[in-house]
Amino acid sequence: MSQVHRRLLAAAVAVGLAAVLGGPARAQSDTAQVSLGSTDIGGIVTGPNGPEAGVWVIAETTDLPTRYSKIVVTDDQGRYLIPDLPAAGYQVWVRGYGLVDSARVAGTPGQALNLTARPAPSAAAAAEAYPGMYWYSMLRIPAADQFPGTGDAPGGNRISPQMRNQQAWVDTLLQSCQSCHALGSQNIRRPSPALGEFPHHVDLWQRRLLSGQAMTNMAISMDRFGAIRASEMFADWTDRISRGELPLSQPARPQGLERNMVVTLWDWASAQTYLHDAISTDKRNPTINANGLIYGSPEESTDDVPVLDPVTHRTWNIRHPVLDPATPSHAEEPVGVSPFWGERINWDGRTSNHNLIIDQGNRVWFAARIRPAATQPDWCRAGGDHPSARVAPLNVSGRQLSVYDQATQRFDLIDTCFQTHHLYLGYDADNTMWTSWGPPTGGAIGWLNTRRYLETRDARTSQGWAPMIVDVPGWGRRGEYTEGDQPLDPNRQRRVIASLYGVQPSPTDGSIWGQSMDIGFSRVDQRGYLVRFIPGEDPTHTGLAELFQPPPGAFSPRGIDVDSNGVVWTTLASGHLASFDRRRCTAPLTGPQAATGEHCFEGWTLHRFPGPQFEGRDPAGSANHAYYVWVDRFNTLGLGNDVPIASTNGGESLTVLVNGQMHQLRVPYPAGFFTKNVDGRIDDPNTGWRGRGVWTTTGTRTPYHSESGAGERPRVFRVQMRPDPLAR
């Protein structure tokens, strides 16, 4: 037994983990009653020391067209109320820190149901409920003095020379590994025995990296670390866990407004599908598509777009078409033997359906591949006659656009010269669709005039793109510029080659904000910037860009949104939710520093994500990872306008910033909650909290790493906030 294990177990025995994590136990009073309606289940959760505060109560049924679950949190007297349950028979149980799951008890709406919590018998049993970041923060990151790496040559430290510093290692670990696979999930921290018997955990890791259809991507990431050194790091981690070592810190039970959370879950898609995003409404007007269908984007896994009707609890798929039958399929990629699926080909998507959004007419727009990348129209290329091609010719486009009309159930496939990744509608009369440009290509920004396209169905005349030009000399207009691979000339403007990951029009001034990834995800030697694009009257010829790097110690933005005041929000691999307010810049935004973005650090505000930090890393940051950020400008969650919501899948939660304070809305079931983005919808503004909420979906590439195993299907999650834990 490890020293850490002994220490935690002793604490559990001496004090009782349930009391430590839940706060002082209170005696149950005669007045601690719960008022139930005909569609509610409620009661009191008690343990050996009395009422259990801040634990989750889960109700689940398979009586509806798809599996349906609801989760609430107990108040400080251990009381709970699960509201608005459809008529069905439910299994109800308790989960919480310091506990193991209680017995599942049958219940029906309208029933009072008191539940008995089960204290964890050991620290190890209690730790099984911890979010993934508590486990993966145990990884031992190479010390700062080991960078830059010196490679595999004799005398080298087996860290790749591409790893220029320790933060590049952390950036790769979080943005390339954790961002797709929940590193701290049980299946990863305790690898499946089906992988085989191995003399050492290094051999085990080298085998597991040859599993499934993500093997190529995983191998690339490992090579960027230095494959041997990274295998040793992961092997040391799983070896220590197998010997009984536990996380050094423990999470606190939900407190304050965190106890007001209500989460509703529906199964959708197949057990082999992984999803990138879900969409419920027009993010500019959350009353669009009220009570309507939810759509998902299944990326490489399939061309079947999952659909949920949250009113009838029905799910089905619609098939996304392609323009060219020669569009490649992910089934053509190499596949390794999986401990879950063997040599089965699970992913056969051709559309690479990455991201989606709903417009003001209730149409669904997709960033989707509709043809092979190399079959680029001639008018896009060098010598082409498109106005944008004359300025910045493009030879390939790996993903294009499509639009689905819910009323007619018709797809239109839109061939774009530029590549698409994330997409967002602007606030102009043309409802311009702006798209980010996924790695490894970059150096331009693309758009589609959706008004013109819907009128004409002419993709060529409705689209445009522009290089991103930084005004180094301060001319205030577009002029002669150097290319990004040429030496900086302070007397000329400069083109920046930055692959925009996120994109977001500002609702205040017509500018377009983008965000580029650092080397850990982009796999190109670029910095992580915020990019402000000012279109001008003719963006192809007048557009200018500004760059802003995070301040020293903070790095690698991922995801972007802009609040109603024009303040930009992003998440950082250094473990921060960050805002940037350009109005706070005090120095001119021109000169040589304009080409690097190393200015206006005063515009940034950093908020440390809750959770532990990697050993030896700056405690001002966190090991917590967030995939994206969305700003709730219209109070769809009920916490106020302009509340940023970070998809902190490291913490298996949505993290909200309210009045300067971080709160984690953790979804404890199924274990390994992993989401990439959210949006908020108002179904009925007259019904208080019940008529509003935010929507998301399971976003991991491996939903079967969840507690349910190979049968686990992705789920849709609606998160709502009521005024108190017993509100109906």
**Residue 89 belongs to some domain of the structure:** yes
Lowest mean per-residue pLDDT among 26-30, 137-141, 334-338: 26-30
In whole angstroms, give the CA distance from residue 16 to residue 492. Answer: 68
Q: What is the pLDDT of residue 21?
A: 40
* Banded pLDDT at 5 (limits 50, 70, 90): very low
> At 335, which amino acid appears?
V
Average pLDDT of the residues in 146-170:
94
- Tell me: pLDDT of 275 over 50: yes
| Banded pLDDT at 216 (limits 50, 70, 90) | confident
CA distance 534 to 254: 43
CA distances from 423 to 273, 427, 582 (A): 22, 13, 23
Q: What average pLDDT does the segment 241-247 reach?
A: 97
* Residues contacting residue 292 through CB under 8 Å, at least 6 positions apart: 280, 281, 362, 406
| Residue 194 forms part of a structural domain | no
Average pLDDT for residues 456-478, to the nearest whole number? 97
Residue 24: predicted pLDDT: 34
pLDDT at 31 over 60: no
167 secondary structure, DSSP code: H
Q: Which domain holds residue 82?
A: 3-37+44-127
Both structure tokens of 55: 């634990």
Q: Classify residue 492: in a domain, yes or no.
A: no
* Alpha carbon distance 607, 663 (integer Å): 12
Checking if the pLDDT of 11 tops 70, the result is no
For residue 663, the model assigns a pLDDT of 98
Tell me the pLDDT tens digit for each residue of 533-551: 999 999 999 999 999 999 9
Reported confidence tier of residue 32, pLDDT bands at 50, 70, 90: low
Q: Is the pLDDT of residue 482 over 90?
A: yes
Strand, helix or coil at 682?
strand
In this model, does residue 508 exceed pLDDT 80?
A: yes
| More confidently predicted of 332 and 106 | 106
Residue 111 counted as domain residue: yes
For residues 222 and 678, give the distance between their C-alpha atoms in angstroms, rounded to a whole number: 30
Cis check: omega of the bond before 254, within 30 degrees of 0? no
How much of the chain, in percent, has pLDDT values that exceed 70? 95
The predicted pLDDT at position 438 comes to 62
Count of domains forming the chain = 1
Which pLDDT belongs to residue 22?
Answer: 39
Kind and range of the H or E run holding 482? strand 481-482
Q: What is the mean pLDDT of residues 393-408?
A: 96
* Domain-located, residue 76: yes
190 part of a folded domain:
no
Residue found under tokens 């505000």: 605
Residues 104-135 have pLDDT tens digits of: 999 999 999 999 999 999 999 999 999 999 99
CA–CA separation, 395 and 379 (whole Å): 10
Residue at 20 is within a domain: yes
Average pLDDT over residues 46-59: 98
Q: What average pLDDT does this structure show over 168-179?
A: 93
The residue type at 328: P
Given this model, what pLDDT does residue 403 score? 98
27 falls within a domain: yes
* Model confidence band, residue 439 (pLDDT cutoffs 50, 70, 90): low
Residue written as token pair 């039958």: 325
pLDDT of amino acid 499: 82
For the chain, give the mean pLDDT.
92
CA–CA separation, 703 and 17 (whole Å)? 30
Range name among 171-180, 247-256, 595-604 with the lowest pLDDT average: 171-180
Q: What pLDDT shows up at residue 12?
A: 38
- pLDDT for the residue numbered 588: 92
**Would you say residue 95 has pLDDT above 90?**
yes
pLDDT, tens only, 278-328: 999 999 999 999 999 999 999 999 999 999 999 999 999 999 999 999 999
Contact between residue 389 and residue 376 where contact means Cβ atoms under 8 Å apart: no
Q: Residue 20's domain is classified under what CATH number?
A: 2.60.40.1120
